Amino acid sequence: MSEFADVLRSWRDRVGPADVGLPAGAGRRTTGLRREELAALAGVSVDYVVRLEQGRATNPSPQMLRALAVALRLSDDERDHLYRSAGAAPPSAGVVPRHVGPGVQRIVGRLGDVPLAVFSAAHDILLWNPLWAAVNGDPLRLVGLERNLVWRHFTSGHAGTDFDAQHEEDFASDLAADLRAAVGRYPSDPSLDHLVSRLLETSPEFARRWAEAKVAEHRASRKTVTNTPAGPITIDCDVLTAPGDLRIVVYTVAPGSGDEARLDLLRVTGLQSMAATPAV
């Protein structure tokens, strides 16, 4: 059996269902994840996981390796070994980090009472909890560039979300400035270069802000999400920097407010079909 198959099976066995927010269930013969559980977390078929573990599937894509690394809660060193043993180059230092390590995953899993998501330095959504999906819509429905916050804001607007005029101006300006800062840190990332090129071609507003050459980080904003099943909710949005140059975006509401009551209602009624899910 190949090294890739060996470590994949070993790392699956060490991750318990509770570690990834799954019920242990009765009659379980293994303390680790079942193959079908890993398949669901990584967004692949059970058959594909079987073929990977038996060494019959070769050359998994970088996207698949990234999904497996997140599902298995690998450290950066373990992720790099997974890539190398699959015959792929690990992500380089000049590329935007998109690996969500186990510590950040635990934060997402434990803070289920607030909407929370993890973004890359380029504002690609990587991980979210069920309440985030209930407030904003399920990110699994987004594909390609639509999974990038900057792209959606400058090409599709922000239907369903209201800012006051000053916050709207600050938000757009900060997004462009934060993206420019990412370009400076990761000059070798082709996907980041592609994102900026497409934005310059598609959005005159983005091109105008890009020409200002402002460099900054987006940290906080206030907005009202108008289209939740519980009604409009005014939220404070704070951005925390996490190891791996990740952004943890957290929504909170004023204690004792109607917004808190509506968020509580959404937590109860809006999560029936939601699950904490990694983006691949």
Rounded to an integer, what distance in angstroms lies between the CA atom of residue 186 and that of residue 141?
28
Rounded to an integer, what distance in angstroms lies between the CA atom of residue 142 and that of residue 26?
35
Q: Is the pLDDT of residue 276 over 90?
A: no
Rounded to an integer, what distance in angstroms lies between the CA atom of residue 230 and that of residue 269?
8
Give tens-digit pLDDT for 45-72: 999 999 999 888 888 898 899 899 988 9
- Nearest one of 5, 16, 244, 242 to 111, comparing CA atoms: 242
The pTM (predicted TM-score) of the whole model is: 0.79
Rounded to an integer, what distance in angstroms lies between the CA atom of residue 105 and that of residue 45?
23
Half-sphere exposure (Cβ direction) of 207: Cα atoms closer than 13 Å: 8
First to last CA, the chain: 27
Q: Could you state, in order of their start, the residue ranges of all structural domains in the chain?
A: 3-85, 102-278
Give tens-digit pLDDT for 202-233: 999 999 999 988 887 667 778 888 888 888 99
CATH architecture of 3-85: Orthogonal Bundle (1.10)
Q: Both tokens of residue 113? A: 């009472």
Give tens-digit pLDDT for 132-162: 998 888 888 888 999 999 999 999 877 677 7
For residue 16, what are the contacts with CB-CB under 8 A and spacing of at least 6?
Answer: 24, 31, 32, 33
Where does residue 169 rank: exposed (0-12), middle (13-18), buried (19+ CB within 10 A)? Answer: exposed
pLDDT at 260: 93
Mean pLDDT of the chain: 86
Q: Is the pLDDT of residue 11 over 90?
A: yes
Common-topology check for domains 3-85 and 102-278: no
Is domain 102-278 annotated with CATH 3.30.450.180? Answer: yes
Name which residue leads in pLDDT, 68 or 109. 68
pLDDT at 273: 42
Name which residue leads in pLDDT, 170 or 38. 38
